[in-house]
Amino acid sequence: MNFPVIKGAAYGLIQAADMLVHHGTTQTMERTKDAKSEHLKKLPEHLRSFEQAVGYPPNQVYIGNMTPDELINVPRPWYEQPVLGLSRDGKYGEIMPEDEFIGLMKMVDAFELVILEEQFQLGVKEKIVAHPVLGAIKDVVKLDKNPGKAEEIQNLVDNHVAQPMYFEGKLVGCVKRAHEFDEALSNHVMYENLVSKASAAFALQLLLNKTKLKAEEVEYIIECSEEACGDMNQRGGGNFAKSIGEMCGCVNATGSDTRSFCAAPAHALVEAAALAQSGIYKNIVVLAGGASTKLGMNSKNHVEKGMPAFEDMLGAFAIHIGENDGFSPMIRTDGVGRHKIGSGSSPQAVMTAIVADPLDKIGYKILDVDRYAAELQNPEITEPAGAGDVPLANYKMISALGVKRGELAKTDLQKAVDNFGMPGFAPTQGHIPSGVPFVGHALEMILSGKISRTMIIGKGSLFLGRMTNLFDGVSFIIEKNSGTVDTGFNKQEIRVMIAEAMRDFAKTLGEK
């Protein structure tokens, strides 16, 4: 069968400490309840510098300068083990500072909602123009236009018609509301959506810069973040995907948005695989930007425990899916796992549906998969908040499933975990950690022969939307390309077959 392939992956991180303080929901809720709370007082002492964020080992894994296997050998706490000599520029991605990102937010703003203070705008424009990836975006010219005065920005923020944009504690800009009464276009929503759009555009631009894909070759974009754009009559109407493609010059692409909480990237990749395999589109990009709301989500626990507030990273990714080229790692579309509506919600039922069932379809056993990538949240962030080591819990569940299925002995449970697991290295940005951060590493490991296959698992908590108590999960296997491309029908062969059939039919007529 001609399976679709993954041709490239790119990853963006944006360090946004001021955004954590002013826009993370843990902080905004705290500010509403008690603006003078102990947490808000202590938080600034726990913020990281950009250099600290760049040197943080899990971030270096996310952008591809280190491998997940190398992270295993870095002793915890990782925040006390800065990586020396590695830059913000990675093999598959890049870490961006907050000032450049604020500039990028103005570049992706199509409705003049972002106002930047003139001196700040001037300074950040220079940095962006000099940047090899961002400088190529044509909308960089917006940084020449419509700067604001500090007092004007302060007034808009004080009058609650704009969200503030801070850099190093100083008000440098704002995002205005897009409508006077429409809550779906409030300054709060517009801010979140512009953050999501800008960070996704960064990831797409990185993909175009770091792989062979050209902007004009992209035919379809699937955006799979957790935000919703639209107005009060169609909240969540979309279309982030096209707005992001537009920023990066994907003039031949259309696109749409896919949502399923943290499982959305896995859904989107399966959809992209189907579009590529069917031949509807040749080059599809699945992408998502980050969520300002989730910054500092567990910061109360981190501050209380004397740790850095290291949920200061917006995450983004872009993955290129295409037709089989006989070389790139393939997506086994004959064994896609899905948590069905009737599957049940116990962990056992979920893991059976998304891990065991697809393996059975292909005829593989649990241990035939070299690496499992599920919920790759950085444990250093989740453990202090009482959520444990999420990836490790997933690996143990997969291993226990293997024991229950008689595919490995109970005594080998931990050994299997050590073999097919990996430490979590992704920021806690909901949809971002959900399996996809490993795709870049997986491509390289498969192409170099280090592993043969991996399973990417996306899991989502649908009950958060209060529409259902259902859980969600989707999985798929990426494996080494078989090396053969099925070219489909051979026209000459078909002609011969038709000719033979007609000859035979003619004979039957003659016999009468």
Query: Closest CB to other proteins among 33 and 507?
Result: 33
User: How many CB atoms are closer than 10 A to CB 157?
Assistant: 19
If you write DSSP's letter for every residue of 402-467 in order, what string do you get? HHHTTSS-GGGHHHHHHHH-----B-S-TTTTSSGGGHHHHHHHHHTTS-SEEEEEEEE-GGGGTS
**Among the residue ranges 74-82, 313-321, 342-350, 479-487, the one whose residues contact other proteins (CB under 8 A):** 342-350
Least distance to other proteins from the beta carbon of 368, Å? 20
Least distance to other proteins from the beta carbon of 442, Å? 24
Determine if 278 is a binding residue for other proteins (CB under 8 A). no
If you write DSSP's letter for every residue of 183-202 in order, what string do you get? GGGSHHHHHHHHHHHHHHHH
Q: From residue 156 to residue 185, what is the string marking binding to other proteins with x (rule CB under 8 A)?
A: ------------------------------
Query: Closest CB to other proteins among 53 and 351?
Result: 351
Structure tokens at 4: 């679709």
Query: Closest CB to other proteins among 145 and 466?
Result: 466
Report the alpha-carbon distance of residue 360 to residue 452 in Å, rounded: 18
Residues 378-407 that bind other proteins (CB under 8 A): 386-388, 393, 396-397, 399-401, 403-404
User: Which residue type occupies 300?
Assistant: K
Least distance to other proteins from the beta carbon of 347, Å? 5
Determine if 342 is a binding residue for other proteins (CB under 8 A). no
Report the alpha-carbon distance of residue 5 to residue 489 in Å, rounded: 20
Are the C-beta atoms of 436 and 456 separated by less than 8 Å?
yes
The CA–CA distances, whole Å, from 337 to 9, 304, 353 equal 22, 40, 6
Report the alpha-carbon distance of residue 267 to residue 459 in Å, rounded: 10
Q: In the set 348, 452, 461, 481, which binds other proteins (CB under 8 A)?
A: 348
Determine if 414 is a binding residue for other proteins (CB under 8 A). no
E-strand ranges in 323-432 read 330-331, 337-338, 371-374
Query: Closest CB to other proteins among 177 and 339?
Result: 339
CA dihedral 68, 72, 76, 81 (to 10 degrees): -60
Q: From residue 428 to residue 447, what is the string marking binding to other proteins with x (rule CB under 8 A)?
A: --------------------
**Among the residue ranges 4-12, 80-88, 253-261, 344-352, the one whose residues contact other proteins (CB under 8 A):** 344-352
Query: Closest CB to other proteins among 387 and 485?
Result: 387
Determine if 351 is a binding residue for other proteins (CB under 8 A). yes
**Among the residue ranges 162-170, 208-216, 234-242, 347-355, the one whose residues contact other proteins (CB under 8 A):** 347-355
User: Which residue type occupies 355?
Assistant: V
Query: Closest CB to other proteins among 236 and 388?
Result: 388
Query: Closest CB to other proteins among 168 and 304?
Result: 304
User: How many CB atoms are closer than 10 A to CB 472?
Assistant: 25
Place of tokens 């950040």: 124
Least distance to other proteins from the beta carbon of 432, Å? 22
Q: In the set 178, 349, 362, 470, which binds other proteins (CB under 8 A)?
A: 349
Query: Closest CB to other proteins among 82 and 347?
Result: 347
Q: What is the largest CA-CA distance in the chain?
A: 100
Query: Closest CB to other proteins among 278 and 414?
Result: 414
Q: How many CA atoms lie within 13 A of 163 on its CB side?
A: 28
Least distance to other proteins from the beta carbon of 386, Å? 5
Are the C-beta atoms of 262 and 375 separated by less than 8 Å?
yes
Determine if 413 is a binding residue for other proteins (CB under 8 A). yes
* 372 burial via Cβ count (<10 Å: 0-12, 13-18, 19+): buried
Number of H helices, E strands in the chain: 20, 14
**Number of chain residues interacting with other proteins (CB under 8 A):** 19
Q: From residue 482 to residue 511, what is the string marking binding to other proteins with x (rule CB under 8 A)?
A: ------------------------------
Are the C-beta atoms of 297 and 26 separated by less than 8 Å?
yes
Which secondary-structure segment (H or E) carries 123?
Answer: helix 118-130
Query: Closest CB to other proteins among 113 and 350?
Result: 350
- Per the document, the length of the chain is 512
Least distance to other proteins from the beta carbon of 189, Å? 24
Q: Could you report how far apart the first and last alpha carbons of the chain are, in Å?
A: 43
Place of tokens 């002793």: 75
Residues found near other proteins in the complex (CB under 8 A) = 344, 346-349, 351, 386-388, 393, 396-397, 399-401, 403-404, 410, 413
